Chains A and B, each alone.
Chain A
Amino acid sequence: MNGIRAVYYREIVNFKNRWIKVWSASIIYPALFLLAFGYGIGKNAHINGTSYVKFLIPGLITMSSMNQAYGISLEVHISRYYYRLFDEYLVAPIKRWEIVVGEVLYGITKGVIPAVVLLAYAIFAHLGYRLGLDFVVYFLLHLCCFSLLGFIVAMVVRSHADQAAFSTFVMTPMIFLSDTFYPIEKMPPFVRPLGYVFPLTYSTKLIRGSLLGLEVNPLYKFLLLGLALVLFGIALFVARRAEG
């Protein structure tokens, strides 16, 4: 447990030096999307009987929290390869899983921020979401998955360029094709399969379902849970393999 505490402490102290950036990014991006899509083109639109804004905000929550959680990737990569801080973890009497858990907790911490901002807005605007335990569970699973993905990418890629490529070819399409701004069922048939490959689709459906009180295919819960476990296994594997 010492390892988790140390890794988390390290990240949080660093984070405190940069918190303004994270908070402002957490506000600006969703606000722009909300203005452009929610109150712009989608102003009078409805999706399955729900106003578009009410449909959109859960998508913005998953999108922006995913960005924050996955965003640990760059930080982990820099601290490992450029500052060699990882070596401190490797010579310490801790287990590798503690490093993984410490970083995931940090990813969760960052991912909660945009959700807090958007939910505060939703309450203020009387959008009427249901905030239940199911939402909390799905949201945490969602953050675990993307923090783990960020960690894995950080440990596997060799350079900044590879990392940027992963963002461009995987993360960005995922943001747009995963039921976030636009229901996947209404997308052109040829991109739909791609949407169903992205895990963000399932976490968005679950989180939106819990907030709107809608039925969601129960299979999705197990998919998300299974994915979190698989990613944890991979993260552990790459952490064990890591050398200084």
Chain B
Amino acid sequence: MSEVEVRDLRKRYGRIEALKGVSFSVEEGETLALLGPNGAGKTTTIKIMTGLINQYEGEVYYRGKLFDAYDVAMKKLIGVVPQHNNLDKDLTVYQNLKIHGLLFGLSGRRLDRKIDEVLEFTGLLEHKNRKADELSGGMKRRAVIARALLHDPEILYLDEPTVGLDPAVRRSMWDFIVRLRREGKTVILTTHYIEEADALAQRVLIMDRGRIVAEGEPEELKMKLGRFVLEVETENGIEEEFFKSREEAMERARAINAPVRIREVNLEDVFLRLTGRRIEV
């Protein structure tokens, strides 16, 4: 039985069809990335799976049971890091976490101990009594993650965990997400950064315009195109050719009378091949 399964999710916002039939499943302990450009429907998918949207078509199952947004046990199973940091900005980190704890039925000493534990884990212990508004972008993001971890969820949703963070902070966030996986959590993350999906996910779902256009392990997806890309500068811009090995690519390069570059295939190439567009615009 899958840890989470969604079947044929559809969602309309007025005339916009945000999801046009999305189905996939996630296994226990797996890290899954939903990769796609702006507006692909990643956030909408997560909102449906976490009870933030209640008018939709299709079904969500947790461990084989139909998702019910009022089922206490099911809700406790999941932790959510939304795309936008929704901290109470005038409250301290501690107070923000306390509200979350109360919502999940924790209180008293046990809650205080849990708060210290997640703050320690996210490296925010020394900022416990600072106002949320005074934290840096990276610290805010970590505070939101600490909050999501407070009730010990087994399935964690991270909607664009590193959006807006500078590269160094992004790296440390990646290490952090890898640690979550080692703790045995099932992680479902969304991103529009190719390297992020590549670095973190065991399996990637490539989404575009409300549909899943490809699914598989990052290596497997790339292998379908080949391992190496030969970029050829032509009059109509850069054209790409795919090869199984570097040697084959070099051989072809020698035959062409134009500036060329050889590099490894990445998920961007996969996306480009499938949709004719690039992810990062």
Question: Does B138 count as interface, using CB distance less than 8 angstroms?
Answer: no
* Interface of A: prevailing SS: helix
Which of A17, A83, A91, A95 contacts B80 (CB under 8 A)?
A: A91
- Interface residue ranges of B37-70 to A (CB < 8 Å): 47, 50-55, 69-70
A93 close to B89 (CB less than 8 A): no
Q: How many residues of B contact A (CB 8 A)?
A: 34
B52 close to A244 (CB less than 8 A): yes
B52 close to A243 (CB less than 8 A): yes
Contacts A10-B99, A93-B76, A93-B104 given; does A243 touch B53 at CB 8 Å: yes
Question: Does A133 count as interface, using CB distance less than 8 angstroms?
Answer: no
Please give, as numbers and ranges, the residues of chain A lying within 8 Å of B84 by CB-CB distance: 84
Question: Does B90 count as interface, using CB distance less than 8 angstroms?
Answer: yes
* Interface of B: prevailing SS: loop
Question: Does A9 count as interface, using CB distance less than 8 angstroms?
Answer: yes
A87 close to B52 (CB less than 8 A): yes
Please give, as numbers and ranges, the residues of chain A lying within 8 Å of B88 by CB-CB distance: 10, 14, 79, 83, 85
Question: Does A123 count as interface, using CB distance less than 8 angstroms?
Answer: no
B75 close to A93 (CB less than 8 A): yes
Contact with A along B87-98 (1 / 0, CB 8 A): 111110001001
Please give, as numbers and ranges, the residues of chain B lying within 8 Å of A95 by CB-CB distance: 70
- Interface residue ranges of B63-116 to A (CB < 8 Å): 69-76, 78, 80, 82, 84, 86-91, 95, 98-100, 102-105, 107
B90 close to A6 (CB less than 8 A): no
Contacts A243-B54, A244-B52 given; does A92 touch B86 at CB 8 Å: no
B86 close to A84 (CB less than 8 A): yes
Please give, as numbers and ranges, the residues of chain B lying within 8 Å of A2 by CB-CB distance: 102-105
Contact with B along A78-99 (1 / 0, CB 8 A): 0100011101111111110000
- A: residues with CB less than 8 A from B are 2-3, 5-6, 9-10, 13-14, 17, 79, 83-85, 87-95, 241, 243-244
